[in-house]
Amino acid sequence: MIRVLLADDEGMIRSALAALLRLEADIEIVAECADGAEAVAAAERLRPDVCLLDLEMPQLDGVQVTERLNRTVATRCVIVTRHARPGVLRRALASGAAGFLPKSRGADEVASVIRRVAAGGRYIDPELAADALSDERSPLTDRELDVLRAGRHGETTRQIARTLSLAPGTVRNHVSAVLGKLSVGTRQQAVLLAEERGWI
């Protein structure tokens, strides 16, 4: 029996998927969680074989949950998302996820992926993998990426400067260069674009 934890902040989707997976003779749903923090706590308590995680959840997203669980629990994580962009795939793989698929897949395919991952395999949606291979590389320097990472949660220029041991003026210069290279108007837009493309 494969013990599965399900985490999705959309109650209807979570309940429907749990009900469909319970019809599989070899899958047992041991927990249904509404956010990432709840998923981490439940996984550490219940030690499921596979965690099926929505990418976008409150508290912690699916990638952050995967990163945490890979340090604390011997469980395999599969991330599902309706926003299946190449950059998100790269973030998921970097976090240690064993599977990644769009929410558009049917319950039978999800069950098949759970079996494969529980057996030690990996599954990456083929279309997403092809998109990721053809996706463009970052035009930003390592230092510019550091500035975006340090300011991804709305930190001030001074806070970023302190974090990176830079002068505030240097941080402003890097931000200006980033905005020009990415053709966006604000640092937050630059962060969103960089996250979407998997650069940070």
Q: Which domains does the chain have, with CATH numbers?
A: 2-134 (3.40.50.2300), 142-196 (1.10.10.10)
Whole-angstrom Cα Rg for the chain: 19
H-state helical runs in the chain: 11-21, 36-46, 62-72, 86-95, 107-118, 126-134, 142-150, 157-164, 168-182, 187-196
- pLDDT for 39: 97
Question: Which of the residues in the chain have pLDDT under 50?
Answer: none
Helix (H, G, I), strand (E, B) or coil at 175: helix
Of 151, 141, 131, the residue nearest 197 (C-alpha):
131
Angle (CA) 66 188 128, round 5°: 45
- pLDDT for 90: 77
pTM given for the model: 0.70
- pLDDT for 100: 92
- pLDDT for 94: 85
- pLDDT for 132: 67
- pLDDT for 138: 78
- pLDDT for 199: 81
